[in-house]
Structure 1
Amino acid sequence: MILTWPPTLPKPERKTWQVTPQDARAKRQADAGPPSFRRRFSSVSKTVNLSLVLTRNGKAIFDRFFHEDCAEGTHLFWMPDPTTDGWPLLATDGRPLLTAEGAPILLAAQWLCSFGEQVPVETVEGQVEFRKTFSVVVMP
């Protein structure tokens, strides 16, 4: 069974967002001239660096998910794609598309992830908030 990211946790902060694709190239060195590249493999993962600002309750939910549910970050999990999931579907002119009742149609997308090499780092924000900074590897 694959775990699911806790739905009560907030979306990641935008200011710390960073995505790095896995390098799928193999370098070929020629006798002369510049190097060239070929594909090493056809399917690549990407590493996403994230941070969350959490209340004390949110911190407890995150800690339980990482330490207990994911066994110190070793299990795969489904996570909503923060760049797509929950955002409105837009028409070509940029206006949100609406249902017959007038509600916006929302996009849905999920990532299959594992925690990355950077395990969660915790810092204190203000009086009652915590920032968790970590990376996830998004499977191809």
Structure 2
Amino acid sequence: MTVLSWPSELPRPLRDRYQAQATDPRLKRAQDAPIPGYRKQYSQVAQGVHLSLVLSRAQKAVFDSFYRDACGFGTTPFRMPDPVTDGWPLLHETGVPLLYEDGTPILMSAQWLCVFGDEPPSETLRGMTFTKSFSVWVMP
């Protein structure tokens, strides 16, 4: 089975709306004392990430088609660029970007394997653009 890829026509998610939280792998133990105790319930956990995109009418159509048709209303896994890593310059320990011989920066690359989150995507119309907000589960 081929894993779907995030449409390259879509822009990067908004940085100010990015929110991530790992699933809690712990299970609280039954306790007789007032001190809480936990044990590990899962060895690996998915990370929930909330993202927002500002889209043109054409990009909205691409997103809607990807969600509805390609992903079967969010039931099929897909690969998407990690918005925290992918496309950002690789930095030296001093904070200076590392460059190729021709002077262009070396960019990092990272992909997520994910599925759409528990709620369907929502949208807001702002002038001539649409803001799509959605969550994904990033697989370990």
TM-score by length of 2: 0.97
**What is residue 106 of structure 1 aligned with on the other side?**
107
In the alignment, the residues of structure 2 paired with residue 24 and residue 112 of structure 1 have an alpha-carbon distance, to the nearest angstrom, of 19
Q: How many residues align?
A: 139
- The share of aligned pairs that are identical, in percent, is 52
Q: Match for 1:11: what amino acid?
A: R
The unaligned stretches of length 5 or more in structure 1 are none
Greater shift, 108-117 or 10-19, is seen at 10-19
In the alignment, the residues of structure 1 paired with residue 36 and residue 59 of structure 2 have an alpha-carbon distance, to the nearest angstrom, of 49
1:49-128 to 2 correspondences below 5 Å: 49-126=50-127, 128=128
Query: Stretches of 4+ moved more than 2 A in 1?
Result: none
**What is residue 18 of structure 1 aligned with on the other side?**
19
RMSD: 0.8
In the alignment, the residues of structure 2 paired with residue 30 and residue 74 of structure 1 have an alpha-carbon distance, to the nearest angstrom, of 39
Q: 2:103 is paired with a residue of what secondary structure?
A: coil
TM-score by length of 1: 0.97
Q: Match for 1:104: what amino acid?
A: P
**What is residue 131 of structure 1 aligned with on the other side?**
131
Q: 1:15 is paired with a residue of what secondary structure?
A: helix
